[in-house]
């Protein structure tokens, strides 16, 4: 059974940094594509960042580009999201998602991912 587990969410003041972690375990599963999504209260889940095992490029939403960095450790089936210059509008539950290899046009679509964690809460507030 595949298990996806996020960690690292907490409450921070604006301008601070935070690193989220996500580890996939169990099953015989090729975690080729991994991604971060987030969902704020009253809003739909939105894409944050994604990359594939080959790691040629990481894709980011416009709202986080330049502030967030996604990295991965293939040996550990883990990914990380390093968030800097956090803003109140970054407040959300952050979800990690995993799947086999996806084509580039599918990376930003939550419906394309089969495995999800339960999420970790990030609150940015003074």
The answer to whether 95 and 6 have CB atoms below 8 angstroms apart is: yes
Q: Which of 29, 26, 24, 18 is nearest to 6 (CA)?
A: 24
SS3 state at 86: coil
- Residue-wise pLDDT for 30-88, tens only, equals 778 999 999 999 999 999 999 988 767 899 999 999 999 999 988 888 999 999 999 99
């Amino acid at each position: 059974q595949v298990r996806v587990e996020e960690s690292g969410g907490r409450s921070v003041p604006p301008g601070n940094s935070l690193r989220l972690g996500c580890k996939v375990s169990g099953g015989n599963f090729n975690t080729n594509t991994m991604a971060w999504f987030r969902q704020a209260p009253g809003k739909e889940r939105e894409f944050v960042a994604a990359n594939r095992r080959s790691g040629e490029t990481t894709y980011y939403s416009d709202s986080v580009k330049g502030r967030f960095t996604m990295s991965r450790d293939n040996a550990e089936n883990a990914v990380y999201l390093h968030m800097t210059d956090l803003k109140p509008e970054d407040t959300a539950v952050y979800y990690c998602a995993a799947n086999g290899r996806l084509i580039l046009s599918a990376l930003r679509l939550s419906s394309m991912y089969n495995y999800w964690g339960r999420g970790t809460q990030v609150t940015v507030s003074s």
